[in-house]
């Protein structure tokens, strides 16, 4: 196959491929090498026009340590395209993009576990320890995701998910609808 074909030659070849019912033996005259660019082009077009799947975030569990470090376990679901294309590309980026204050324990197509140092701000007052959580929104997550080439293939869906913060005193706080989770303060009094 040469790249110097004229538009007329390409047009005839594509019409041969697309209108095989008029000439059932036409497919026998094309080699796999000649068909491959069209197969790749059609596959890419399908990938671009297939609606983006939603990464459905089911649950984010954040266990806060006394020093403000947080063990985070995120459960989510990916569609077949995200598992086949995005997940293999995202995992190396996840490990490469994270700073020194984040340690990844495990990553799979449906769960990620990591520790973030000092995610929660800890303040000491006489007789109490205050834990202030950061605000979280899917819009902020989307901004971070938009830095990567595969971002147009992903829609984040957190409406049916929930987030749980677990504190050192055993208390927990839960928020439904991950679209936007406000910052809040949890106080543990000391005897």
Do 87 and 36 share a structural domain? no
Do 61 and 34 share a structural domain? no
pLDDT tens digits for the chain (191 residues)? 444 444 444 444 444 444 444 555 544 454 445 555 555 555 554 455 444 556 788 898 999 999 999 998 988 888 777 777 767 766 666 655 555 578 888 888 888 888 888 889 999 999 999 999 988 888 887 787 788 777 777 777 878 889 999 999 999 999 988 888 899 999 999 87
Residues 6+ apart with CB under 8 A from 91: 107
Do 164 and 94 share a structural domain? yes
Cα 50 to Cα 4: distance, rounded to the nearest angstrom: 32
Do 12 and 63 share a structural domain? no
Which residues constitute the domain of residue 81?
53-189
Handedness of CA 86, 87, 93, 98 (dihedral sign): positive
**Considering the domain boundaries, does residue 15 fall inside one?**
yes
**Considering the domain boundaries, does residue 1 fall inside one?**
no
Do 34 and 88 share a structural domain? no
**Considering the domain boundaries, does residue 81 fall inside one?**
yes
The radius of gyration of the chain from alpha carbons, rounded to an integer in Å, stands at 25
* pTM for this model (two decimals): 0.69
**Considering the domain boundaries, does residue 14 fall inside one?**
yes
- Exposed/middle/buried for residue 132 (C-beta within 10 Å: 0-12, 13-18, 19+): middle
Do 125 and 153 share a structural domain? yes
Own/partner pairs for 106-112, CB < 8 Å, 24+ apart? 109/78, 109/83, 110/75, 110/76, 110/77, 110/78, 111/73, 111/74, 111/75, 111/76, 112/72, 112/73, 112/74, 112/76
As for how many domains the chain has, the answer is 2
Do 130 and 117 share a structural domain? yes
Do 57 and 45 share a structural domain? no
Cα 153 to Cα 168: distance, rounded to the nearest angstrom: 38
User: For residues 129 and 30, is the Cβ–Cβ distance under 8 A?
Assistant: no
**Considering the domain boundaries, does residue 2 fall inside one?**
no
**Residue 37: its pLDDT value, please?**
59
Q: Which of 189, 152, 141, 149 is nearest to 168 (CA)?
A: 189
Q: Within the chain, what is the greatest distance between any pair of CA atoms?
A: 89
Do 69 and 12 share a structural domain? no
């Amino acid at each position: 196959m040469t790249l110097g074909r004229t538009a007329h030659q390409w047009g005839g070849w594509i019409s041969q491929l697309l209108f095989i019912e008029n000439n059932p033996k036409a497919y026998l005259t094309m080699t796999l090498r000649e068909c491959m660019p069209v197969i790749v082009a059609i596959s890419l077009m399908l990938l671009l026009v297939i609606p983006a799947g939603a990464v459905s975030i089911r649950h984010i569990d954040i266990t806060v340590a006394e020093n403000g470090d947080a063990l985070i376990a995120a459960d989510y679901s990916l569609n077949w395209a995200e598992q086949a294309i995005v997940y293999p590309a995202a995992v190396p980026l996840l490990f490469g993009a994270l700073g020194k204050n984040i340690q990844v324990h495990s990553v799979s197509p449906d769960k990620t576990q990591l520790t973030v140092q000092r995610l929660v701000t800890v303040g000491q007052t006489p007789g109490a320890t205050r834990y202030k959580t950061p605000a979280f929104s899917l819009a902020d997550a989307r901004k971070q995701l938009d830095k990567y080439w595969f971002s147009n293939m992903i829609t984040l869906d957190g409406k049916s998910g929930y987030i749980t913060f677990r504190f050192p005193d055993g208390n927990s706080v839960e928020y439904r609808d991950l679209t936007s989770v406000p910052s809040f303060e949890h106080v543990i009094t000391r005897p």
